[in-house]
Amino acid sequence: MKKWVVVLAAALLFMGGCATSRQVTVQEQKGTSKNEVSNTVFYTFPDIPVPKELDFQREKSFIYETPNVKAGVLVLTGNVDVGSLETYFKVNMVKNGWRFVNSYKYGDMILNFIKEDRASNIRTKRETFTTQVEIWVGPVDRAAQASPASKENGFR
């Protein structure tokens, strides 16, 4: 008799677990199909989107702010594929008014963006079970970009 009770209890727990995981899956699909913005969070910089799968590391990040300048580094971690992060940032940074400048890939990946008088560098590094993302934001000196020496060398 005890064996039947144990088997029945195990079967009910198994069935309940399957029903619960199915409900969660349906809710996740409903949430992501509504709009793409639901996967985005903003930390400190309202025009730099971050995927919700990344966790903000407050103790490793810093922000410098004056009335005219806001700059700093946001550090985030999560188990996210580097290739999907590249696609995410290239699409969503442009949607937020940033212009893609270039990228470097070998081991780490670095994406460079520019917007008006600011630049953003996004570095991703894959480790064993996690990916670390650093988002650097700082001012750009437009006078240095337009200097005669840079024009003579073919840089603009």
Here the CATH number for the domain that contains residue 97 is 3.30.310
- The whole-angstrom separation of Cα 43 and Cα 56 is 8
Report yes or no on 156 lying in a domain. no
Domain that holds residue 16: 1-34
| Residue 32, pLDDT above cutoff 60 | no
Residues 4 and 63 in one domain: no
Asked if 46 and 20 sit in the same domain, the reply is no
Of residues 145 and 139, more confidence is placed in 139
Q: Which residue has the higher pLDDT, 94 or 26?
A: 94
24 and 42 assigned to the same domain: no
Residue 89 has pLDDT above 70, yes or no: yes
Looking at the predicted structure, is the pLDDT value of residue 155 above 70? no
The pTM (predicted TM-score) of the whole model is: 0.68
Same-domain pairing of 91 and 134:
yes
63, 70 Cβ separation under 8 angstroms: yes
Confidence tier at 141 by pLDDT (50, 70, 90): confident
Domain count within the chain:
2
Is the torsion defined by CA of 100, 132, 41, 51 positive or negative? positive
Are residues 78 and 104 located together in one domain of the fold? yes
- Give me the count of residues in the chain: 156
For residue 143, the model assigns a pLDDT of 66
How many Å apart are CA 141 and CA 132, to the nearest integer?
A: 28
